[in-house]
Amino acid sequence: MKKQIVITALTFGAIILGTNNVQAQNTTATTTVNITLNDVISIDAGSTAIGNTVDFNYATAADYNSDQTITKANSLKVTSTKNFNVKVKAGGANFMNGTNLIPVNVLTIKAATAAGTMGGTKSAVVLSATDQTLVSNAPLGSALTLNLDYTIPAAKSSSSDILGKPAGTYTQTVTYTATAL
């Protein structure tokens, strides 16, 4: 009987010690991590060109006889995984107030002096209804900003393009398009 108790005690001891050894051997684990990339280009939220307005106001003779420039900070905020271009165009040939028209080519759009974080070659664009390149070969990046100057030069505001038009607000949309290269 003493033999059976000793054998039973040794068996339980071996099971317990064996279990601890098995648990002690599982000290590492390996996991695979995948990163899947897709090409992205986006004019991001926070761009003041999204749903914003640029208001020129001609109230005095001095207004008609001088350049008017309105600077919009963060006009465009672009994220792109590739180099890209930014183009601009008007939604039509004229600013409209009912049947009264002012040609869109009275407006020039260009990068502001403090242009923001967007690189590339920047050009001044006289607005038209066809796409024109505002920024070419901008380097890829995240949340790159472009501050824009909207200018109506005195040569346009003091010409028949604007002078002699009925009073009121003339409106046209401007569309910006970022395209990966």
DSSP secondary structure of 99-142: TEEEEGGG-EEEE-SS--S--SEE--EE--SS-EEEEEEEPPEE
Domains along the chain? 42-180 (2.60.40)
**pTM of this structure:** 0.81
Cβ neighbour number for residue 148 with a 10 Å cutoff: 26
Q: What is the pLDDT along the chain (181 residues), one digit of tens a residue?
A: 555 654 555 555 555 555 544 556 778 888 999 999 899 999 999 899 999 999 999 999 999 999 999 999 999 999 999 999 999 999 999 999 999 999 999 999 999 999 999 999 999 999 999 999 999 999 999 999 999 999 999 999 999 999 999 999 999 999 999 999 9
Cα-to-chain-centroid distance, residue 164: 39
- Beta strand 141-152 with 108-111 is antiparallel
Beta carbons within 8 Å of 87's beta carbon, 6+ residues apart: 131, 132, 133, 134, 176, 177, 179
- Beta strand 121-122 with 132-138 is antiparallel
Are 79 and 42 within 8 A, CB to CB?
A: yes
